[in-house]
Chain A
Amino acid sequence: MATLTYREAIRAALSEEIERDPNVVIMGEEVAQFNGAYKVTEGMLEKYGPKRIVDTPISEAGFIGMGIGASMLGIRPVMELMFWSFFSVAYDQIVNNAANVRYMSGGQIACPIVIRGPANGGTNVGATHSHTPENILAHHPGLKVVVPSNAADAKALMKTAIRDNDPVMFLENTLLYGIAGEVPDGDICLPFGRAHIAREGKDLTIVTYGRCVLHSLAAAEKLKADKGLNIEVIDLRTIRPLDVDTVLKSVAKTHRVLIVEEQRPFCSVGTMLAATIQEEAFDELDAPILRVGTIDAPAIYAPPVEKNYQLPNPERVIEGVLKVMR
C-alpha cells in the first residue's frame, strides 16, 4: 500500500503502462514540457522522452482524430483533454469515428484509445469550462465511460482502460486530484462494470459516482449521527458498462433510492438509473426514486452561488435523503 493522491495514482498507472507497452503514447495540450495543466503528467517527459509524451497544438479535433486513426493500427494513445469541456470540439471524431468504426466495419477494426481529463464544476470557470459529459458519451454505444471517485480506483481503472480494446472515456475531477488515498501496490486492474459499495447500510441506497461519492458519504455520516439512519452508498465507478446488479441487490435490501450526480437532471445518467431500477425492481420500491443533481442551467460563474446552490453538496444530499424517507 502506498498513499497517493488521485493525480499521482493516475500518473502511476500511466507510467506503468508506458513501461509495459511500447505502443502506449500520451498526448495532449501542455502534457509534456509544461507537465500538464493539472500536473497529472508531471515529470513524465523527462522520464520517458518526447516520443512517448507529446505536446499537441490546440487542435482537439485534429489530435484526437489522429489518435483514433493511430489506434486502428495498434497504437494505444492516451489523449488528455485539458478539460473534458473541450470534447465538443472533437465530438465528431469521438462519436462518429471512435464509437462507430468497429460497428461499421463489421467488427474488423478495434479502436483502443483512451481519452482522459477532468470533467467537473465547482471551480468557478463558468459555462464553457464546467461540462460533465458522461451522459452524452455514455449515450453512444461503442464508447466506455469511466468515472473514478478515489485514487485506488483511478489507478486500477486507468490500467484497465489502457489495455482495453475499445475507446474508453475517462472522466476525472480537478477537485479530486489533490485528495490522497491508499493505493494497493502492484499491477492491479479493476474490471469495468463492477460497482463498489462505499458504505453499507439498510435504510436507503444512494447511487452515485465521481466526486458525489464524497458528498454522499459525508451526508451518510451526518444522517447516522443526527437521525440514526444507515445509508448505503454505491459508487458506480463506470457508467457504461453499468453494474445494475449491485444496485438492484442494494435496492432489494433498502427499498429506497436516491441518485446523486453532478449532472443536470434533464436526460442525465440518473435518468437512466431511475428508469432501469423501476423497470427491474419496481416491486422492491417503498418510495419514488429521487435525484439530487446540478440545478438545470448552464454553470453560473458567481463562486458562492455555484458551490452552495447549483451543484450537489452534502446538505443537498441530506435534504434528498430525508425526502425519500418521508
Chain B
Amino acid sequence: MSKKSSPAAPSEPADVSVAVPSPHAAAPANAKLTTEQRIELYRKMVRIRRFEERCLPVYNAGKIGGFLHLYIGQEAVAVGACSLMGKDDHVITAYRDHGHAIAVGMDTKPLMAELYGKVTGCSKGKGGSMHYFAPELNYWGGHGIVGGQIPLGTGLAYAVKYQGKKGAAMAFMGDGAVNQGAVHEAYNLAALWDLPVLFVIENNRYSMGTSQERSSAGVLGKRAEAYDMQWYQCGGHDIYEVRATLDEALTRARDQHKPAVVEIDTYRYRGHSVADPDKTYRDRKEIEEKVLTTAIIEEIDAAARAEAERAVEFAEASPFPTAEDIQKDVYWETDQPARTSEGRIFFNNVK
C-alpha cells in the first residue's frame, strides 16, 4: 500500500500468488482478524472462482446468452473490499459483477439462475450477467454502460451523508472507465461536496483489447490530485493489502466525509468476455497461508465446487419468465394493485 501525492512509477507486473506471510498482515484491519475470518476470506475467493469456472461449460453449451465477463484473477479485490463493509456502507460496480455479488453475500443459486435467464434469478431473468443487484445487501449492481455507475456511487454517498449515517460508498470501475466524462464529473462533485465515496479502479491493464498505455494519459489514480482528492495505489493480489488500503480510505470517508481514488493493480486472466480471445491467460497459483492447512484447502474447494453444482441444478430446474413478465417491473406504479396516474395508455400494446 502506498499513499500518493506525486507521480508514481508504473507498478511491477502483478504476481499471482501472495507473499507468505503478507507484509500487510499486521495492518490494523488485518491484525484483528480471527483465524475463522481469515479462512472465510479465502473461502469466498474460492467460491467466486469455482462459481465462474462452472459458468464456462454452461456458456459453451449455449445456456447463457449475451456476454459473460469473468472476474477470474481479481477475486481478492472484491472480497477484500466487501469484507470491510459495515451496515451503512454500499457497493456498486460495472458489468464484471459476479465477484462483488458473491463477496457481499449473495447466494449463488439465484446468481446462476440469472445467467440462465430464469425467473428465479436475482433480477428475475431480466438483467443477465451484467446486471446483478441486491439492495438488501447494499449492493447496487451490476451496470452495463462503462462509467455509468460512478455518478450513481457518488449518489449513494450523498444519500448516506444526507441521512446522517456513518458509512461510505465504494464505486468500482475498470481502467478503461476512467476516461468517461461522467467519471470526472463525479470526482469533482465528490471532492467539492465532501462525499464519502471511494472510486475504486480495478486496473487489470486492459479495456477489452486495449492496453492501459494505449487508452489513458498519465497515472490513473493521480487524476485525483486535480480535484484535491487523496489517492492510493495498491496491489490486488494480496487480500491483506487490499484490505489495509481500503480500510484506511474507508475510515477517512466515514469519519471525515472525504472521497478518495484507490487504484488497485490486478489482472484479468480470461478474455474480456468469454466469447473474446483469451491470449492473456496465465497459470493460476492458489493463495496459501499458514492458517490454511491442506485439509482446509481441500474442504473449501470441494464445498465450493459442490455449491456451484447445486447452483447449476437450481438454475436448470427453474422456469423462464413468461411473456406477461416482460412488462412487469417497468414502473413502480404499474406494479401496484391500483394506479394513481390517469390516462389509459402506460404501455403502447399495439392491437
B125 near A305 with CB under 8 A, answer: yes
Q: Which of A28-36, A98-106, A249-257 contacts B (4 or more CB under 8 A)?
A: A28-36
A309 near B145 with CB under 8 A, answer: no
B117 near A55 with CB under 8 A, answer: no
A-B contact count (CB 8 A): 143
Decide yes or no whether A282 CB sits under 8 A from chain B. no
A291 near B179 with CB under 8 A, answer: no
Contacts of A305 in B (CB 8 A): 117, 125, 320-323, 325-326
Decide yes or no whether A3 CB sits under 8 A from chain B. no
Decide yes or no whether A310 CB sits under 8 A from chain B. yes
Per-residue interface assignment for chain A, residues 272 to 304, with 1 indicating a CB less than 8 Å from any chain B CB and 0 otherwise: 000000000000000000111101111011111
A302 near B209 with CB under 8 A, answer: no
B350 near A304 with CB under 8 A, answer: no
**Within B63-88, which residues are at the interface with A (CB < 8 Å)?**
65-67
Q: Cα distance A291–B348 when bound, in Å? A: 11
Decide yes or no whether B214 CB sits under 8 A from chain A. yes
Q: Which of A5-13, A121-129, A137-145, A162-170 contacts B (4 or more CB under 8 A)?
A: A121-129
Q: Cα distance A296–B349 when bound, in Å? A: 7
Residue of A nearest to B181 (CB): A61
Decide yes or no whether A62 CB sits under 8 A from chain B. yes
A313 to chain B, nearest CB (A): 13
Decide yes or no whether A265 CB sits under 8 A from chain B. yes
Q: Which of B46-54, B101-109, B127-135, B232-240 contacts A (4 or more CB under 8 A)?
A: B127-135
Q: Cα distance A295–B107 when bound, in Å? A: 31
Decide yes or no whether A48 CB sits under 8 A from chain B. no
Chain B contact surface mostly? loop
| With known contacts A30-B210, A58-B177, A295-B326, A126–B125 Cβ distance under 8 A | no
Decide yes or no whether A155 CB sits under 8 A from chain B. no
Residue of A nearest to B330 (CB): A297
From B125, B208, B320, give the contact of A34 (CB < 8 A): B208
How many residues on B have C-beta within 8 angstroms of the other chain's C-beta atoms? Answer: 46
B96 to chain A, nearest CB (A): 14
Contacts of A123 in B (CB 8 A): 65-66
A55 near B128 with CB under 8 A, answer: no
**Within B190-224, which residues are at the interface with A (CB < 8 Å)?**
207-210, 214-216
| With known contacts A128-B144, A302-B117, A33–B210 Cβ distance under 8 A | yes
B330 to chain A, nearest CB (A): 5
A158 to chain B, nearest CB (A): 24
From A59, A124, A128, give the contact of B179 (CB < 8 A): A59
Q: Cα distance A264–B143 when bound, in Å? A: 22
Decide yes or no whether B146 CB sits under 8 A from chain A. yes
| With known contacts A58-B176, A301-B117, A125–B350 Cβ distance under 8 A | no
Per-residue interface assignment for chain B, residues 302 to 338, with 1 indicating a CB less than 8 Å from any chain A CB and 0 otherwise: 0000000000000000001111011100100000000
**Within A54-73, which residues are at the interface with B (CB < 8 Å)?**
55, 57-59, 61-62
**Within A106-151, which residues are at the interface with B (CB < 8 Å)?**
123-129
A58 near B326 with CB under 8 A, answer: no
B180 near A300 with CB under 8 A, answer: no
How many residues on A have C-beta within 8 angstroms of the other chain's C-beta atoms? Answer: 44
Decide yes or no whether B351 CB sits under 8 A from chain A. yes
Contacts of B180 in A (CB 8 A): 58-59, 89
Q: Cα distance A59–B350 when bound, in Å? A: 38
A58 near B146 with CB under 8 A, answer: yes
Residue of A nearest to B207 (CB): A58
From B65, B123, B148, residue with most partner A Cβ within 10 Å: B65
From A55, A128, A306, residue with most partner B Cβ within 10 Å: A128
Contacts of A129 in B (CB 8 A): 66, 130, 144
| With known contacts A34-B210, A125-B66, A126-B127, A58–B215 Cβ distance under 8 A | yes
Q: Cα distance A295–B126 when bound, in Å? A: 14
Per-residue interface assignment for chain B, residues 145 to 172, with 1 indicating a CB less than 8 Å from any chain A CB and 0 otherwise: 1111000000000000000000000000
Contacts of B147 in A (CB 8 A): 58, 89
Other contacts beyond A295-B327, A296-B327: 9, CB < 8 A: A58-B177, A59-B179, A124-B66, A126-B127, A298-B330, A300-B321, A300-B325, A300-B326, A302-B118
**A–B complex contacts, Cβ < 8 Å, 28 sampled:** A34-B210, A55-B210, A58-B147, A86-B146, A88-B145, A89-B145, A89-B181, A124-B66, A126-B66, A126-B127, A126-B128, A128-B130, A128-B148, A129-B130, A265-B348, A290-B351, A295-B323, A295-B327, A300-B126, A301-B66, A301-B125, A301-B126, A301-B128, A301-B131, A302-B125, A305-B125, A305-B320, A309-B323
Leading 9 A-B pairs by shortest Cβ distance: A124-B65, A302-B117, A301-B128, A34-B209, A128-B144, A303-B65, A302-B125, A124-B66, A57-B179
